[in-house]
């Protein structure tokens, strides 16, 4: 059975209202069911489930999808994991190879959990562990937190874990696969972690997937060390503490991002539970995509030194790419979140208010960072500022940023927007292919919605140049979605209710809940004109670029030749259109 077939069988085995009702109290309103969204905090119910279309949509946070998407989000699983779990619950026979891989991964997380318990046991029982316990106490970490987060201790003797795992040849092999122990040249094994505090890292299901470790010797390098990446541990896709904090983040509709394990634990100790930490790596796009599933309201709480501020700037860019404008904490240069919290001596609501006092919006943070440079060299510094913001893809957010920067910097909004739309040329840019747009284009969403309701019209839109237009928007979500939709149409699938991509599936569900256009023919006419108009704009831009290139590098004869070819081309097109 293919994955697509399995998906269809799973969907047909469940009623979405029954499944969602297990997690959300629903009330029938008309032909749909309504309730409070389980994915964000709200005072007025905006979560709608359609029994007719077997999909859900939250008009508050935008979450949407089918029965598998809902299960994926509510359980914090991958799409594949959700599909297999739902199939198993429904008694659907699944190819054994799917479960073999799942069973293998489970055996690795079980070994990690066993190791986590072993390290915690050593924290209380090993002859050299007293210093480790005192160190945690000095950092303000109490017994309850140690137990809740399975904090442990790896002795300096590098063969303690290897000796423990040696009781089982299978465990030893898995330990080597996970990087917990390493084989030496003489065939013996040595531990990865030596003389360190251990921080087990859990995924959203509460499975132990990896470890971080902090050296107890202040001169040891590196200070922090992680287990290497493996089948179950991807540093760029997982957070420390998210398993424990996810409900608080959803409840408060706000998350706090820190970089260090102790930064996380200090906040947790003081009653701030809606916090996550990266695992010894810089923030990634995948991190932000995951964060966005819990809330779109985030505070970046990094170190106060130059490195921390630069890391904050990079994080802002990643958030903006996902349409989130985060807030940022400004700490004294000598502090990190952990040291600042201990210095302030506050907790609970008082600490929350103090954090709010030193929190600013991203635009203010960026302006403050560059303000001295801007006074000395406005032109160069403005470009550096725009390097932070240029990743913004949401048009509404771009306009807001342009308005704010215009106010702060005393330049026109249009000047700022130029850097967003890249409607300017430099010699280096000339001769390069036209840059593909990265922002989501409202017109493409309308085309997608139209084709979902009227798939029979896709061939005529193709002849109008739709696929050619989509080449310019391959970096946008609706551009990619439309390309996939057209592929489904080409296969003869006119009633598309499944696309094998979680993000696309959410868009599809969102579009299916939208009502059809009232005047099909009028909308069809406008869409065809939109496609032709956009293609014409691209053609004009290409001509402009070529002319600018010739003006810089070409001769007068070459320019005249190009203009003659261009004129002939336009005349030919006009004759062709007249005949048609």
Q: What is the DSSP letter of 128?
A: T
Q: Does the pLDDT value for residue 301 go beyond 80?
A: yes
CATH code of the domain containing 19:
3.90.580.10
Nearest to 397 by CA among 440, 426, 452: 440
H helices of 296-361, in order, are 306-321, 337-344, 348-357
Domain boundary among 390, 424, 458: 424
pLDDT at 163: 94
Q: What is the total residue count of the chain?
A: 580
- Same-domain check for residues 448 and 538: yes
Give the domain range for residue 545. 442-576
Nearest to 365 by CA among 419, 301, 414: 301
- Same-domain check for residues 194 and 269: no
Question: Distance (Å, rounded) from C-alpha 497 to C-alpha 504?
Answer: 11
Highest-pLDDT range among 294-308, 365-379, 502-516 = 294-308
Helix (H, G, I), strand (E, B) or coil at 84: helix
Selected residue with higher pLDDT from 109 and 396: 109
Q: Which residues contact 290 (CB under 8 A, 6 or more apart)?
A: 237, 239, 242
**Domain total in the chain:** 4
Q: How confident is the model at residue 426 (pLDDT cuts 50, 70, 90)?
A: very low
pLDDT at 23: 92
For residue 43, tell me if it sits in a domain.
yes
pLDDT at 124: 96
Helix (H, G, I), strand (E, B) or coil at 178: coil
Nearest to 58 by CA among 73, 36, 75: 36
Tell me the mean pLDDT in the region 218-238. Answer: 93
Q: Which of 9-13, 413-417, 495-499, 553-557 has the lowest mean pLDDT?
A: 553-557
For residue 432, tell me if it sits in a domain.
no
- Same-domain check for residues 263 and 318: yes
For residue 244, tell me if it sits in a domain.
no
Q: Is the bond preceding 491 in cis, omega lying within 30 degrees of 0?
A: no
Q: Which residues contact 286 (CB under 8 A, 6 or more apart)?
A: 234, 236, 237
- Same-domain check for residues 27 and 135: no
3-state SS, 235-299, equals: HHHCEECHHHHHHHHHHHCCEEEECCHHHHHHHHHCCCCCEEEECCCCCCHHHHHHHHCCCCCEE
Q: Which two tokens stand for residue 267?
A: 């906040």
- Same-domain check for residues 114 and 223: yes
- Same-domain check for residues 455 and 547: yes
Domain boundary among 367, 395, 424: 424
Nearest to 213 by CA among 198, 202, 200: 198
- Same-domain check for residues 182 and 114: yes
CB-CB contact of 197 with 135 (8 Å)? yes
The distance of Cα 104 from the centroid of its chain, to the nearest Å, equals 27
Nearest to 250 by CA among 11, 564, 40, 10: 40
CATH code of the domain containing 253:
3.40.1360.10
Residue pLDDT, tens place only, 19-51:
999 999 999 887 889 999 888 777 788 899 999
Residue pLDDT, tens place only, 167-180:
877 789 999 999 99
Handedness of CA 233, 239, 241, 246 (dihedral sign): negative
Round the average pLDDT of the chain to a whole number and report it: 85
Question: Distance (Å, rounded) from C-alpha 510 to C-alpha 338?
Answer: 42
Q: Does the pLDDT value for residue 496 go beyond 90?
A: no
pLDDT at 534: 85
Residue 360 bridge partners (DSSP) = 328
For residue 36, tell me if it sits in a domain.
yes
- Same-domain check for residues 86 and 105: no
- Same-domain check for residues 86 and 109: no
pLDDT at 500: 61
**191, containing H or E segment:** strand 189-191
Sequence-ordered strand ranges (E) for 16-65:
27-29, 32-35, 47-50, 55-58, 64-65
- Same-domain check for residues 356 and 479: no
Highest-pLDDT range among 168-177, 198-207, 379-388 = 198-207
For residue 155, tell me if it sits in a domain.
yes
**pTM attached to this predicted model:** 0.67
Q: Strand 359-361 and strand 327-329: pairing?
A: antiparallel
- Same-domain check for residues 293 and 409: yes
Q: What b/e readout covers 89-113, taking b as 16+ CB neighbours within 10 angstroms?
A: eeebebeeebeeebeebeebbebbb
CATH code of the domain containing 209:
3.90.980.10
The count of C-alpha atoms lying within 13 angstroms of the C-alpha of 71, restricted to the half-sphere facing its C-beta, is 23
How many C-beta atoms surround the C-beta of residue 508 within 10 A?
25
């Amino acid at each position: 059975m293919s994955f697509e077939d399995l998906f269809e069988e799973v969907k047909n085995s469940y009623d979405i209202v029954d499944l969602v009702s297990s997690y959300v109290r629903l009330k029938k309103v008309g032909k749909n069911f309504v309730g409070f969204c389980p994915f964000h905090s709200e005072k007025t119910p905006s979560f709608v489930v359609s029994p007719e279309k077997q999909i859900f949509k939250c008009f508050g946070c935008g979450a949407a999808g089918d029965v598998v998407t809902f299960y994926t989000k509510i359980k914090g699983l991958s799409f594949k994991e959700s599909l297999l779990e739902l199939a198993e619950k429904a008694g659907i026979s699944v190819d054994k190879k799917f479960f073999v891989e799942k069973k293998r991964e489970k055996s690795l997380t079980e070994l990690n959990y066993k190791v986590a318990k072993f390290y915690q046991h050593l924290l209380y029982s090993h002859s050299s562990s007293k210093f480790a316990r005192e160190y945690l106490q000095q950092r303000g970490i109490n017994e309850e937190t140690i137990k809740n987060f399975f904090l442990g201790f790896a002795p300096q003797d590098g063969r303690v874990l290897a000796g423990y795992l040696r009781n089982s040849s299978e465990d030893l092999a898995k330990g080597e696969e996970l990087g917990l122990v390493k084989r030496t040249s003489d065939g013996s094994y040595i531990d990865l972690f030596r003389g360190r505090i251990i921080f087990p890292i859990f995924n959203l299901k509460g499975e132990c997937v990896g470890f971080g470790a902090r050296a107890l010797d202040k001169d040891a390098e590196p200070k922090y060390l992680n287990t290497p990446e493996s089948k179950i541990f991807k540093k760029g896709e997982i957070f420390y503490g998210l398993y424990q904090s996810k409900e608080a983040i959803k409840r408060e509709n706000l998350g706090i991002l820190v970089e260090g394990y102790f930064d996380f634990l200090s906040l947790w100790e003081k009653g701030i539970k809606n916090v996550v930490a990266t695992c010894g790596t810089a923030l990634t796009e995948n991190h932000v995509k995951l964060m966005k599933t819990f809330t779109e309201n985030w505070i970046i709480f990094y170190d106060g030194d130059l490195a921390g501020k630069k890391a904050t700037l990079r994080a802002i860019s990643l958030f903006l790419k996902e349409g989130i404008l985060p807030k940022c904490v400004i700490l004294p240069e000598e502090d990190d979140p952990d040291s600042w919290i201990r210095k302030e001596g506050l907790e609970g609501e008082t600490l929350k208010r103090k954090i709010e006092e030193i929190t600013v919006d991203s635009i203010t943070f960026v302006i403050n960072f560059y303000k001295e440079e801007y006074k000395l060299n406005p032109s160069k510094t403005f470009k550096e500022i725009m390097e932070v913001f240029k990743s913004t893809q949401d048009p509404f957010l771009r306009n807001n940023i342009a308005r704010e920067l215009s106010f702060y910097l005393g330049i026109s909004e249009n000047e700022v927007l130029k850097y967003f739309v890249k409607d300017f040329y430099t010699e280096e840019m000339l001769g390069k292919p036209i840059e593909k747009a990265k922002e989501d284009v409202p017109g493409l969403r309308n085309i997608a919605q139209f084709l979902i309701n009227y798939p029979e019209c896709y061939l005529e839109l193709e002849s109008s140049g739709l696929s050619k237009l989509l080449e310019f928007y391959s970096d946008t979500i609706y551009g990619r979605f439309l390309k996939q939709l057209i592929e489904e149409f080409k296969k003869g699938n006119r009633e598309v209710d499944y696309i094998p991509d979680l993000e696309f599936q959410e868009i599809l569900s969102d579009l299916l809940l939208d009502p059809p256009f009232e005047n099909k023919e009028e909308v069809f006419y406008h869409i065809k004109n939109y496609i032709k108009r956009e293609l014409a704009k691209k053609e004009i831009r290409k001509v402009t670029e070529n002319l600018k290139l010739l003006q810089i590098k070409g001769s007068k004869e070459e320019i005249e030749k190009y203009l003659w070819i261009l004129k002939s081309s336009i005349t030919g097109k006009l004759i062709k259109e007249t005949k048609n």
